[in-house]
Amino acid sequence: MLLLMATAFSQSVADYDLWLSYQKISDTELVNKYRAQTNDIAFMGNSETIIVAKEELRLGLGNMLGNSSVIMNADPNSADLIVGTKDQLHTTIQNRLAKDLEQVGEEGFVIKALVQKGKNALVLTANTDIAILYGVFRLLELMGQHQSLDKINLVDAPKIDLRMLNHWDNLDRTVERGYAGASIWNWQKLPEYIDQRYIDYARANASIGINAVSLTNVNANALILTPMYLEKVQALANVFRPYGIKVYLTARFSAPIEIGGLDTADPLDQNVQQWWDKKAAEIYGLIPDFGGFLVKANSEGQPGPQNYDRNHVDGANMMAKALQPHDGNVIWRAFVYSEHDADDRAKQAYSEFVPYDGQFMDNVLVQTKNGAIDFQPREPFHPMFGAMPKTSQIIEFQITQEYLGFSTHLVFLPKLFEEVLDSDTYRKGKGSTVAKAIDGSLYDKKMTGMVGVANIGSDLNWTGHPFAQANWYGFGRLAWNPYLDAETIADEWLRLTYSNENAFVNPMKELLIDSREAVVNYMNPLGLHHIFDTGHHYGPGPWVSELGRPEWNPTYYHNADVNGIGFDRTTKGSNAVAQYAEPLRLLWNDPKTTPEKYLLWFHHLPWDYVLEDGNTLWDGIALKYQEGVNQVAEMISTWKKMKPYVSEEQHREVKMLLNIQLKEAKWWRDACLLYFQTFSNKDLPKGVEKPTQSLDYFKSLKFPFAPGIRPQWD
Amino acid sequence: MLLLMATAFSQSVADYDLWLSYQKISDTELVNKYRAQTNDIAFMGNSETIIVAKEELRLGLGNMLGNSSVIMNADPNSADLIVGTKDQLHTTIQNRLAKDLEQVGEEGFVIKALVQKGKNALVLTANTDIAILYGVFRLLELMGQHQSLDKINLVDAPKIDLRMLNHWDNLDRTVERGYAGASIWNWQKLPEYIDQRYIDYARANASIGINAVSLTNVNANALILTPMYLEKVQALANVFRPYGIKVYLTARFSAPIEIGGLDTADPLDQNVQQWWDKKAAEIYGLIPDFGGFLVKANSEGQPGPQNYDRNHVDGANMMAKALQPHDGNVIWRAFVYSEHDADDRAKQAYSEFVPYDGQFMDNVLVQTKNGAIDFQPREPFHPMFGAMPKTSQIIEFQITQEYLGFSTHLVFLPKLFEEVLDSDTYRKGKGSTVAKAIDGSLYDKKMTGMVGVANIGSDLNWTGHPFAQANWYGFGRLAWNPYLDAETIADEWLRLTYSNENAFVNPMKELLIDSREAVVNYMNPLGLHHIFDTGHHYGPGPWVSELGRPEWNPTYYHNADVNGIGFDRTTKGSNAVAQYAEPLRLLWNDPKTTPEKYLLWFHHLPWDYVLEDGNTLWDGIALKYQEGVNQVAEMISTWKKMKPYVSEEQHREVKMLLNIQLKEAKWWRDACLLYFQTFSNKDLPKGVEKPTQSLDYFKSLKFPFAPGIRPQWD
């Protein structure tokens, strides 16, 4: 029986702190060292951004070092730590750091240990105030990871311009694909009431370099563009400004009709154009640094230019023109597939968008999901990456775990993001990775960007699962530097969030890294995809076959029959392989040269097809499902050993969640194997546990109130 | 411009602690005294309830006294504090306290300072473990209020049996009339994941003696009664059990059809009866101490026995029979009014239910709202109170502020509750107060009860407005003792939540006490009622007149025309006065002997009717609206002075909310007066500020996403 204890409330809310808990360092030698290095601080400047940077530094040093009397206005000539933009530094230091500062641009920073007039000093400098704030956060993070500052020589700048979160938050505070409670945007109380969460949200984002947020669902409601709501948006923008975060809004294409009183939203109609011009001017009047619009048009029922026989270029450029005078951007999503197009859904975005390359205005960013279907546990990279050299193409990842176990499965997504970013598109020969296509090093781009669909809600721990915080953190780190490896990110996050003990960090790092392959194994092994139950995408539904549009049905994707399983995207099938550059096109056209992780993505193969390890396909699928379950069991056993390093509440919380994950991993295994078995007509191989329920039982499960479903008003 | 600071995260979540923050006491003399009185504790027993009581005591003493080494297993002969049920006490003490213990029943406790063998000792005792827990909370609360324990002689027991919260929480985590974020019940993660909030919720409830909760909306979904959900409910019941809290569920009357596969829900149908019998047995198999069902039947579209030409007695007794073998209760709501009944809505519940007196089974509790309309800022007490001597009638208050400014208005509701409880029904002559009708002292009752519709959600501070926590607290205290006065409750809550400084407590107590009259003044003065905007009830809508049912329209209630304003409920009107006992019937039939606070509730009066103070009715209404606005302005000025006594974040938070309240108070004043002025055709009297917007502007305001609206699936 569960034994429940009264605990200090403060314990209950420990998870609220995210990676900014600034835990007290117990190593007194290290504390003394850090104290000596940060005791007298000359922190120059007094902008809003500098004020919050100072406060953050005070908070961080105070908590980590127990130093409640940090001096911020020391004499720069004798200070231990000198913080200031280039111009504020003494000329000698300016000269010494000039070369570094040339490299870091508007958002990068330098942290360097110098000897000044015979005295050791740390210098934190940059070209702008916001970069100083980024540097302060980084300095605190290094200390939080107990790294030595003695010889620090860190010159760092973001490799990507736009580092953005997309919130799919509705005006009624529901969150589409949200698994962490209600939206953090309390529209009812805005603009007057500024929830402390908004400030903490901005701090967390700034600490990892996120510099843009879109507040509202891409399945948009035009009301957000009315004066009543714009006043609320303005209040949020005011909160975010000191933290370097620009606000974007989702613009419903039909807004001129819905809130403008026009009878058309035709992008070539002058009244429509003028309406958007005026609307943009109105918004910039309230929010001078407004980011721009994010648009989902002619996608899954959303209105768009095609409603008027215009195309995406017409639509995007019309909005771009309205925003251009104000330096605003249009982010136009490429996630399109049509109910009227019988072609493989995986091909449609490429087919439609690639011909537009070069036609979009400079301030249009084309936002493309990491894969061609929809945020699956694993997909090959989207073939559009690298295929639109003249377009500012940005990548969209999903941080919220729509297809990855909601907020009860521990899955470390930087491993997934890294796999995509490291994928070689071969568009300009070997080494043309997605990261290079994105960060502008493959082709010169007007603007580069990486977007993550947020996993943030009102839950005390922000993300529903405390380990899902790592995915927010990791997304930010990769948006700053898409070449960071997932292990580094895991290491950083674990130390900042929980503990610097190696006995904790090392096994947990392994757990995090393995967690992504585990979920692929127990949900969608060997290239299977989109076999989720319908609508809510909670749990398995490979049998679902009767939805209105063929490409909404799992059966469309796995295509299992007595002859085998998989989607034939070869030249003999949908020929989706043709959208990739050589040699991928050639390699992926043949199952023998296709990486097995993508096997059933590209091929329909017989049940007795022989895999690399000599197993038949049927046995291989079954063993992968079992392996996924085993991996979760291992995660549980690792976590058990971590008890000494985390609080009792934290340990209990994650233990409960891992138990749900194990239960659901078994559910996936049993339901999928029982269903596929009706086609393979083969026994489960040795080592695969027998299902404890019937296929009919699994089919009977219904979850009408699974979270994250699109609300009915939409 | 708003200057935002990085603050310690722990500050952000301070409001999460509720009145259980156990703030460190700074008066060292008092700390030493308390330490001496609680240092060696003999805490006897080891049930789950006793374990949580010990942990709570350890936590409270630890925080308040900085005493981290509290001993719990001291020798009872030498302990400073002896805690144990009667049987566990030494016979000498048993005998000394026997008389007290006879008085306190199953849930009361005794805290007494004794001299035992020449040594001072505190004894905390009771007849049951749960009463020990209540005693521990009370002891901690007394210390939190810095009260002396030297001569304590406290014998206290609840005067009401059932002290219950009703959550109007939906299975999709929306909350009908909820203004504090999503439901705290995370159905998706239950039963495996026990959110720490559930435990803290149980602690908070137990600390004020709440002993029952209904988890789900009275506009019910039958799915809650299916095995999948019952398993989740069981998990919550397991959490709540040590804290003495029983779980109830709302039972949709048509559940036998919706989830039982029957084609009728006729209460006289044997299959239906058997279905409920089995369902009850199934639930009690999972939750042996399940409380029972809460039912809203044939009310606002909900199904009920009348769908089958049966009556409320048929319906309630059918369920009562199913629950009786398990000692469960049916709580049957009397909130009924029919679209087919043209009679005054205020009369319908009384007309329908009073004739049933004596016909309900013993385990049926008839739950009646405090007033005859619907949780208005002010209503005369419901005429049913005292009018059903043979029925266990329980009272329903609304803690969530549906008609009281949502979670942005500071309104101290114990003042409203107190007014109702102190109202004299005269049913058994003078002094027959509602409190006496409710607590069983007027008529002998099988069971007594007080219910509050919860104002709790997932917001960090639980209730949206930190001062709304006082309404949860105050409801619990009044359910324990309906004769407590609102000032005492305000005093307790302020000390426990914020500060014991008199310079804080005294002005803030006055602010709390006055806050309720302020909201009456700026929303519904002089007996006006139900003039809220439709559906969401956010803001004024006195002009709304075209809703489908007449009694849904504000115009039905205020009835303003060129001749005057008000609802004529006298013998010349709807004769609702006839439902009250003499002398009320007589007094309230005449405007001159009707208290002015109820004037327009009972009378339609000309605009130039002369009030007690000599003003005309028109001037009086206008001046009341202005007075309400002035009162909010005063609240703001009081709060400004409170800065030294609360944290910066707490001060800022309440200041922002008070500013919203002021803005909305003015909105109410201006919108209502402009509208009523179209009938009165009179100028605003001196002292009333001119509206800054037109009536058309106010009418044009639309709030499609105001929180708390009933979801569309219902």
H/E/C letters for each residue in B260-300? Answer: CCCCCCCCCCHHHHHHHHHHHHHHHHHCCCCCEEEECCCCC
Stated as kind and residue range, the H or E segment containing A139 is helix A129-144
Q: What is the pLDDT of residue B5?
A: 43
Chain-centroid distance of CA A486 in Å reads 13
Q: What is the pLDDT of residue B325?
A: 98
Average pLDDT over residues B208-220: 97
The pLDDT confidence band at residue A1, using thresholds 50, 70 and 90, is very low
Catalytic annotation on B282?
Answer: no
Contact A574, A347 (CB under 8 A): yes
Distances (CA, A) of A333 to A167, A218, A434, B157: 14, 9, 18, 64
Mean pLDDT across chain A, nearest whole number? 95
What is the Cα–Cα distance from B580 to B346, expressed in whole angstroms? 12
B706 touches chain A (CB under 8 A): yes
| Residues of chain A with C-beta less than 8 angstroms from the C-beta of B59 | 6-8
A120 CB neighbour count, 10 Å cutoff? 13
What is the Cα–Cα distance from B709 to A492, expressed in whole angstroms? 44
The pLDDT confidence band at residue A338, using thresholds 50, 70 and 90, is confident
Average pLDDT over residues A593-604: 98
Q: What is the DSSP string of A320-356?
A: HHHHGGGT-EEEEE-----TT--S-HHHHHHHHHGGG
Contact A7 B192 (CB under 8 A): no
Residues 6+ apart with CB under 8 A from A17: B9, B10
Q: How close A250 gets to chain B, by Cα (Å)? A: 17
Of B190, B172, B281, B166, the C-alpha closest to B238 is B190
Contact B42, B76 (CB under 8 A): yes
| Residues of chain B with C-beta less than 8 angstroms from the C-beta of A16 | 9, 12-13, 460
The β-bridge relationship of strands B153-156 and B119-126 is unpaired
Decide if the complex's ipTM is over 0.90. yes
Q: What is the DSSP string of B613-648?
A: TS-BHHHHHHHHHHHHHHHHHHHHHHHHHTGGGS-H
Q: What is the pLDDT of residue B118?
A: 86
Contact B139, B22 (CB under 8 A): no
Please say whether the dihedral angle defined by the alpha carbons of residues A621, A626, A627 and A632, taken in this order, is positive or negative: positive
Buried b (16+ CB within 10 A) or exposed e, A163-194: bbbbbbbbbbbbbbbbbbbbbbbbbbbbbbbb
| Sheet with A119-126, edge to edge strand ranges | A41-43, A81-85, A119-126, A109-116, A153-156
Contact A223, A171 (CB under 8 A): yes
Is the pLDDT score of B661 beyond 90? Answer: yes
The pLDDT confidence band at residue A551, using thresholds 50, 70 and 90, is confident
What is the Cα–Cα distance from B18 to B15, expressed in whole angstroms? 6
Q: Per-residue pLDDT tens for A421-477? A: 999 999 999 999 999 999 999 999 889 999 999 999 999 999 999 999 999 999 999
Contact B405, B533 (CB under 8 A): no
The β-bridge relationship of strands A119-126 and A109-116 is antiparallel
Q: Which residue in A has a C-alpha nearest to residue B21's C-alpha?
A: A9
Is the pLDDT score of B713 beyond 70? Answer: no
Q: Per-residue pLDDT tens for B44-55? A: 999 999 999 999
Average pLDDT over residues B301-325: 97
The pLDDT confidence band at residue B515, using thresholds 50, 70 and 90, is very high
Contact A142, A156 (CB under 8 A): no
DSSP conformational letter for A42: E
Average pLDDT over residues B268-275: 98
- Residue A133's φ and ψ, nearest 5 degrees, are -60, -45
The pLDDT confidence band at residue A7, using thresholds 50, 70 and 90, is very low
Q: Which residue in A has a C-alpha nearest to residue B238's C-alpha?
A: A2
Is the pLDDT score of B222 beyond 90? Answer: yes
Q: Which of A367-381, B7-21, B125-139 has the lowest mean pLDDT?
A: B7-21
A588 CB neighbour count, 10 Å cutoff? 22
Catalytic annotation on A87?
Answer: no
Give the B window 453-472 contacts with A, CB below 8 Å.
458-460
Catalytic annotation on A649?
Answer: no
Within B145-248, residue ranges assigned H as helices are 196-207, 227-240
For chain A, give the number of residues. Answer: 714
Q: Is B239 helix (H, G, I), strand (E, B) or coil?
A: helix
The pLDDT confidence band at residue B2, using thresholds 50, 70 and 90, is very low
Q: Is B398 helix (H, G, I), strand (E, B) or coil?
A: strand
Average pLDDT over residues A337-353: 92
What the block records as the tokens of B217 is 């909306």
What is the Cα–Cα distance from B58 to B660, expressed in whole angstroms? 40
Contact A166, A451 (CB under 8 A): yes
Distances (CA, A) of A85 to A138, A457, B423: 16, 35, 69
Is the pLDDT score of A352 beyond 50? Answer: yes
Q: What is the pLDDT of residue B548?
A: 82
The pLDDT confidence band at residue B137, using thresholds 50, 70 and 90, is very high
Q: What is the pLDDT of residue A713?
A: 42
Task: Map out the domains of chain A with their CATH numbers.
Answer: 22-156 (3.30.379.10), 162-497 (3.20.20.80), 521-567+604-700 (3.90.1330.10)
Helix and strand tally (H, E) in chain B? Answer: 22, 13
Average pLDDT over residues B218-247: 98
Using the structure block, give the residue that is written with the tokens 């209730």. Answer: B463
The β-bridge relationship of strands A119-126 and A81-85 is parallel
Contact B453, B177 (CB under 8 A): yes
DSSP conformational letter for A529: -
What is the Cα–Cα distance from A394 to A416, expressed in whole angstroms? 17
| Residues of chain B with C-beta less than 8 angstroms from the C-beta of A648 | none
Q: Peptide bond before A389: cis, by omega within 30 degrees of 0?
A: no
Q: Per-residue pLDDT tens for A700-714? A: 999 999 999 875 443
What is the Cα–Cα distance from B19 to B497, expressed in whole angstroms? 5
Contact A55 B458 (CB under 8 A): no
Contact B200 A16 (CB under 8 A): no
- Residue B174's φ and ψ, nearest 5 degrees, are -75, 160
What is the Cα–Cα distance from A623 to A689, expressed in whole angstroms? 10
Expressed in angstroms, the distance from the first to the final Cα of chain A is 44
Contact B187, B223 (CB under 8 A): no
| Sheet with B119-126, edge to edge strand ranges | B41-43, B81-85, B119-126, B109-116, B153-156
Which is more confident, B713 or B680?
B680
Q: Is A645 helix (H, G, I), strand (E, B) or coil?
A: helix
Average pLDDT over residues A542-562: 93
| Residues of chain A with C-beta less than 8 angstroms from the C-beta of B223 | 704-705
DSSP conformational letter for B588: T
What is the Cα–Cα distance from B81 to A458, expressed in whole angstroms? 42
Within B288-367, residue ranges assigned H as helices are 312-323, 345-353
Q: What is the CA radius of gyration of chain A?
A: 26
Helix and strand tally (H, E) in chain A? Answer: 22, 13
Q: How close A492 gets to chain B, by Cα (Å)? A: 20
Q: Which residue in A has a C-alpha nearest to residue B660's C-alpha?
A: A192
Which of A7, A13, A55 is the closest to B16 by Cβ?
A13
Q: How close A9 gets to chain B, by Cα (Å)? A: 6
Amino acid at B132: I
What is the Cα–Cα distance from B83 to A164, expressed in whole angstroms? 57
What the block records as the tokens of A574 is 């949908």
Q: Is A265 helix (H, G, I), strand (E, B) or coil?
A: coil
What is the Cα–Cα distance from A267 to A364, expressed in whole angstroms? 15
Judged on CB neighbours under 10 Å (0-12, 13-18, 19+), A292 is buried
Is the pLDDT score of B11 beyond 70? Answer: no
Residues 6+ apart with CB under 8 A from B614: none
A47 touches chain B (CB under 8 A): no
Q: Is B114 helix (H, G, I), strand (E, B) or coil?
A: strand
Is the pLDDT score of A114 beyond 60? Answer: yes
The pLDDT confidence band at residue A552, using thresholds 50, 70 and 90, is confident
- Residue A392's φ and ψ, nearest 5 degrees, are -80, 95
The pLDDT confidence band at residue B714, using thresholds 50, 70 and 90, is very low
Give the A window 205-224 contacts with B, CB below 8 Å.
223
Q: What is the pLDDT of residue A4?
A: 40
Q: Which residue in A has a C-alpha nearest to residue B407's C-alpha?
A: A189
Mean pLDDT across chain B, nearest whole number? 95
Q: What is the pLDDT of residue A3?
A: 38
Average pLDDT over residues B454-466: 96
What the block records as the tokens of B558 is 């205020």
Is the pLDDT score of A273 beyond 80? Answer: yes
